Amino acid sequence: MRAIARLNYEIARAIARLNYDSITSAYRCDQTERSHQSFTKQNNTNAEVEKFADNASAELENQSPTQGNLV
C-alpha cells in the first residue's frame, strides 16, 4: 500500500512538473514574440523616419531659389 502511495505521489509530481515546464515555456515564447514584434515595429518606425527625411531632403534640393521657399 505504501509503495502505491509513493508511486501515485511520484506520478503526480512528474505531471505537475511537466505542466509547470509547459506553462513557463509558453510564457517565454510569448515574451520572445512580443520582444520581436516590438523590435520590428521600432525598425519600421526608424525606416519611415529615414524615408521621410530623404523625401524632405530631395524636395529641398529640387526647389529653385525663385520659388521663395529657400532663405
Nearest-angstrom CA–CA distance, 38 and 40? 5
Instruction: Select the more confidently predicted residue: 59 or 63.
Output: 59
Please report, as a single letter, which amino acid is at residue 26: A
Residue 64: the pLDDT is 57
- The mean of the pLDDT values for the chain is 76
Instruction: Select the more confidently predicted residue: 6 or 52.
Output: 6
How far, in Å, are 21, 26, 57, 62 from residue 69 at the CA level?
A: 64, 57, 13, 11
Which of 64, 67, 63 lies closest to 55, judged by CA?
63
Residue 65: the pLDDT is 56
DSSP 68: S
pLDDT tens digits along 1-35 = 788 888 889 999 888 888 888 888 877 777 777 77
Check: CB of residue 63 under 8 Å from CB of residue 70.
yes
